[in-house]
Amino acid sequence: MDCIFCKIASGEIPSYVIYEDDHVMALLDISPVNYGHTLVIPKKHIVNLEEMSEDELALVVNLVKRIGRAIKLGMKAEGYNVQLNNDPVAGQIIPHIHFHVIPREERDGLRLWPQGAYGEGKGRETMAKIKSAFE
């Protein structure tokens, strides 16, 4: 397989590993938004969130939480963002699920996306579409 994260997980490509066990790992992003920007990945090749079992997701999210705490303490960050780009249209470049944990400071210049509003009846219509597909 030609997946960069699988190669990192197998030790084929070196990286700045913060934590690793048999199932998950956390490593520094090589193109950080802010210093300490960390990626949390499952070692098993999984493309997106829908492919993950609940047990696999629990392992990853628990590590995200631990890394977030370590970033706040170790980097003296005031907070952090957790981001998942799920599928290419959402900005996923590497087809192996990975969560970004990005340290934040009050004046770091990082902006969140713009927000809008639902027009007349659109909130109810949108809710109905999602509820109809919810399992």
Q: What is the pTM of this model?
A: 0.92
The answer to whether 101 and 37 are in contact (CB under 8 A) is: yes
Mean pLDDT value across the chain: 95
Q: What per-residue confidence (pLDDT) applies to 113? A: 85
**Both structure tokens of 107:** 């004046």
- Residue range(s) defining the domain that contains residue 111: 4-133
Rounded-to-integer distance, Cα 11 and Cα 23, Å: 14
Spell out the residues 6+ positions from residue 100 whose beta carbon is closer than 8 angstroms to its own.
29, 33, 37, 38, 39, 81, 82, 83, 84, 85
Nearest Cα residue to 40 out of 69, 13, 68, 73: 68
Number of folded domains that form the chain: 1
- The domain that holds 17 is classified in CATH as 3.30.428.10
User: What is the signed CA dihedral for 91, 95, 97, 101, rounded to 10 degrees?
Assistant: -50
Is 98 catalytic? The answer is yes
Catalytic annotation, pick one of 37, 96, 98, 100: 98
The predicted-structure confidence for 8-37, as pLDDT tens digits, reads as follows 999 999 999 999 999 999 999 999 999 999
Rounded-to-integer distance, Cα 65 and Cα 19, Å: 13
